[in-house]
Structure 1
Amino acid sequence: MNIVSLIKCVSLVVGMSAAEVNAAPRIAVLDFELNDITSLPNTSTEISRTSSMAPLLMAALSRSGAYQIVAVDAESQKTANSGFGYLFRFHDLAADLGQQRGADWVLVGQHSKPSFLFSYLWVYLIDVNKRAAVARYDIELKGSHQKVTQHAIDTLAGKIRATLAGHRVN
């Protein structure tokens, strides 16, 4: 191997290593589960609202351009989720699902609705390599209008970005 070939080879390896270090974190956002414990649970309106949360969160995180969103289809999530709240409670299994999709992080959450007046987003940020949650977010939503939902998702996205920024430094 001549010196030019050696330099090209070393440059390629260094370039690939730098690309991996500077690669945008890959985040899998799982569909939110609805935990509606009101006297009239699981209305079509509330199911639709909850179904909109993961796409809204994906869009909010994507806006900065700092993250790659990893797709997890509903069937794969359903298969991995042995029952209601399973992935929410067992972070190692949520991490396994993320790892299968090539994600660095997994967001798993529930939309808990104890009242017609307010509800909560409970979300865990799971580090796929550690197979454990590194943060939990609790966001209160007062009301059920789209504007309230969007504000809660934007607040959640800001908290997630702050957590991930802290993990890049470490």
Structure 2
Amino acid sequence: MNIVSLIKCVSLVVGMSSAAVNAAPRIAVLDFELNDITSLPNTPEEITRTSSMAPLLMEALGRSGAYQIVVVDADSQKAANSGFGYLFRFHDLAADLGRQRRADWVLVSQHSKPSFLFSYLWVYLIDVNKRVAVARYDIELKGSHQKVTQHAIDTLAGKVGATLAVYSVN
């Protein structure tokens, strides 16, 4: 093997290993569950609003370019979720769903609505390899307008990004 071939081989190995080290974290964002405990629960408007949250979060996280967003189809999520709140409560099972999709992280979320005036986003960030939640985010939404929802999702994306920045250093 001549020196040029050796340099090419070494460059290829270094390039492949640095790509693996610098690969963007893969995040699976599960659909938000609506936990509407108002006197008039689960209106079509609230179901639509809650259904928009995961796509908005995927978009907000994707804007930075720092993450690969992993899509988990509704049927796979439903099959893994034995009942309301199951994946939200059992982080190891949410991690298993993420592992099936080759994700590094899973975001499992509920939109809790105790009042017509305010609601909350409750979100866990789950480390797929450790099968545990490493962070919980609670964000209050005052009102139900699209602007309020977008602001809450952007705030959530910022908090998730800050947490993942800490874990990427370790």
Structure 2 residue aligned with 1:29? 29
Other-structure match for 1:102: 102
Task: Give the aligned residue type for 2:104.
Answer: D
- 2:79 is matched with 79
**Residue 39, structure 1, aligned to residue 49, structure 2:** no
Aligned AA (1:88): F
Query: What whole-Å deviation, never above 9, does each CA across 1:100-156 have from its counterpart, x for those lacking one?
Result: 111111000000001111100000001111111110000000111111100100110
Q: How many residues align?
A: 170
1:9 deviates by 2.7
Gaps of 5+ in 2: none
In structure 1, the residue corresponding to 2:41 is in which secondary structure?
coil
Give, in whole Å, the separation in 2 of the partners of 1:28 and 1:146.
23
CA distance in 2, matches of 1:8, 1:97: 40
Matched letter for residue 17 of structure 2 = S
Q: Residue type of the partner of 1:23? A: A
In 1: Cα distance, 2:119 partner to 2:132 partner: 26
Instruction: Find the aligned partners of 1:60 and 1:73 in 2 and give their Cα distance.
Output: 19
1:114 to 2:114 alignment = yes
* 1:129 pairs with 2:129: yes
Match of 1:62 in 2: 62
Query: What CA distance in whole angstroms lies between the structure 1 residues aligned with 2:56 and 2:163?
Result: 19
C-alpha separation between the residues in 2 aligned to 1:91 and 1:8? Answer: 45
Q: TM-score, normalised by structure 1?
A: 0.96
Give the residue type in structure 1 aligned to 2:121: L
Worse overlay, 7-16 or 113-122? 7-16
Percent identity (aligned) = 89
Secondary structure of 2:34 counterpart: strand
- TM-score w.r.t. length of structure 2: 0.96
